[in-house]
Structure formats: structure tokens, C-alpha cells
């Protein structure tokens, strides 16, 4: 399996993928060495079919953005919102910036590594993520406990997690950490959760 958490070495092997996200037809550039090179993965498809962005949101985050399908979809769905896209893979961030620019939202989308991200002072209205479960439980917990506190007081996080990858235990763990989490949908072996600040 390609290790898509770090920036790949060697020449880029780019391709184009067509998809629909929240009613927007997207033509996205992907590349080998990023997550789901061939197009929108099943978990993300379940997420965007199950939950829609809040029209009132003005600052949102795509956590683990890959080449940017959620981030670009958010930018198109929320024309007044600023979109932050975070990933550890520099190639993924480069592609996210290019995809945002090609869809006319490059001026409102900031793609950056986690250590360079400066969240809004009043917190994110929404956080969206197909979190990297395969980094292991300790690293995943650290990731979530870093970013979920950055929600605004009334903010929400929308997460999609494979049932066979520990979705139900993660839901319980989040609640135990002070982030009440409810199941919004279940399809194709995935759970879609909504998490808030307790």
C-alpha cells in the first residue's frame, strides 16, 4: 500500500478524476503517492452523501485533505466561507491548491501542514475529516485531541470511519474525552459521526 502520509519521492504521476461533491461537478487532479489516487474513495463518498455543510459556516477545516475533494467541495458550497485544508503530504497540499484554483476558490482556501496551521481565534464552525485511521490508535487520538478543541463553541465535526476499523469504539472514546458523538449515518461499512464540544 502506498504510504500517503508523507511526501513521495520521484517524478509525479498525475491523473484526472471526475466526481460530484454536494451537487458540484469536480474535475480534480490527483497523483500517485496521495490517498485514493483513482478518485473519490468510498468513505468520503458516504460522508458527502450523508451530511451537507451548514450554510451559515464561515470558517471550516478539511483535516487530512489529500488532494482536496472535501476542501474544494466546501469552498464551492459555502461561497462566503474561508476553508483551511491540512495534510502532512506536501504533494497533496500542492494538488489541493491547484484544484482550488482551477475551481475558482483559490483565494479562500489555505492548504498547509498541521504545524503551520493557525486556526481562527473563534474556532472552526465545522471540521470535516476522513481521518487516517491506519496511523494507529495513539497517533489518531493525538490528532483528534489536537484539532477537535479548535471547534467553535457551537461547532461540529463530521467524521467518517470504517466500521471494521474501530468506528464504534472511536465513538465511545470521543464521548469519554468530552466530545459527544452521535451517529448520523451508516452505509457501505462506514459510520458517519457528528462530534461537538461537551
CB atoms within 10 A of CB 49: 15
| 13 pLDDT higher than 90 | no
Task: Output the pLDDT for position 5.
Answer: 53
pTM reported for the whole predicted model: 0.93
Who has greater pLDDT, 83 or 117?
83
Contacts of 23 (CB under 8 A, 6+ apart): 77
Q: Say what the alpha-carbon torsion angle 145, 147, 152, 156 is, to the nearest 10 degrees.
A: -80
Contacts of 52 (CB under 8 A, 6+ apart): 22, 77
Burial of residue 102 (number of CB atoms within 10 Å: 0-12, 13-18, 19+): middle
Task: Output the pLDDT for position 11.
Answer: 57
Residue 24: pLDDT band (50, 70, 90) is: very high
What pLDDT, in 10s, does the model give residues 115-166?
A: 888 889 999 999 999 998 888 899 999 999 999 999 999 999 999 999 999 9
Q: Which of 96, 77, 76, 95 is nearest to 85 (CA)?
A: 96
Indicate the CATH number for domain 58-195: 3.40.50.150
Q: What is the mean pLDDT of the chain?
A: 93
What pLDDT, in 10s, does the model give residues 114-129?
A: 988 888 999 999 999 9
- What residues does each domain of the chain span? 58-195
- H/E/C letters for each residue in the chain? CCCCCCCCCCCCCEEEEEEEECCEEEEEEEECCCCCCCCCCHHHHHHHHHCCCCCCCCEEEEECCCCCHHHHHHHHHCCCCEEEEECCCHHHHHHHHHHHHHCCCCCCEEEECHHHCCCCCCCEEEEEECCCHHHCHHHHHHHHHHHHHHEEEEEEEEEEEEHHHCHHHHHHHHHHCCCCEEEEEEECCEEEEEECCC
Task: Output the pLDDT for position 3.
Answer: 46
Q: Which three cell numbers stand for residue 133?
A: 485511521
Alpha-carbon gap, residue 161 to 46, rounded angstroms: 10
pLDDT above 70: percentage of residues in the chain: 94
What pLDDT, in 10s, does the model give residues 55-80?
A: 999 999 999 999 999 999 999 999 99
CB atoms within 10 A of CB 77: 20
Q: Which of 178, 137, 170, 64 is nearest to 192 (CA)?
A: 170
Task: Output the pLDDT for position 6.
Answer: 58
| Across 18-42, average pLDDT | 96
Amino acid at each position: 500500500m502506498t504510504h500517503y502520509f508523507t511526501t513521495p519521492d520521484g517524478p509525479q504521476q498525475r491523473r484526472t478524476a471526475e466526481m460530484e461533491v454536494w451537487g458540484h461537478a469536480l474535475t480534480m487532479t490527483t497523483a500517485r503517492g496521495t490517498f485514493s489516487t483513482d478518485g473519490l474513495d468510498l468513505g468520503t463518498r458516504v460522508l458527502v452523501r450523508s451530511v451537507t455543510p451548514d450554510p451559515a459556516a464561515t470558517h471550516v477545516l478539511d483535516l487530512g485533505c489529500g488532494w482536496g475533494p472535501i476542501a474544494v467541495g466546501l469552498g464551492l458550497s459555502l461561497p462566503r466561507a474561508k476553508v483551511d485544508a491540512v495534510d502532512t503530504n506536501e504533494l497533496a497540499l500542492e494538488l489541493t491548491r491547484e484544484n482550488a484554483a482551477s475551481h475558482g476558490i483559490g483565494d479562500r482556501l489555505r492548504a498547509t501542514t498541521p504545524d503551520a496551521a493557525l486556526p481562527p481565534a473563534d474556532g472552526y464552525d465545522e471540521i470535516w475529516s476522513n481521518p487516517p485511521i491506519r496511523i494507529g490508535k495513539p497517533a489518531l487520538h493525538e490528532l483528534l485531541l489536537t484539532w477537535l478543541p479548535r471547534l467553535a463553541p457551537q461547532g461540529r465535526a463530521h467524521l467518517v470511519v470504517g466500521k471494521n476499523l474501530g468506528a464504534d469504539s472511536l465513538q465511545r472514546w470521543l464521548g469519554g474525552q468530552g466530545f459527544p458523538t452521535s451517529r448520523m449515518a451508516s452505509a457501505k461499512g462506514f459510520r458517519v459521526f457528528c462530534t461537538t464540544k461537551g
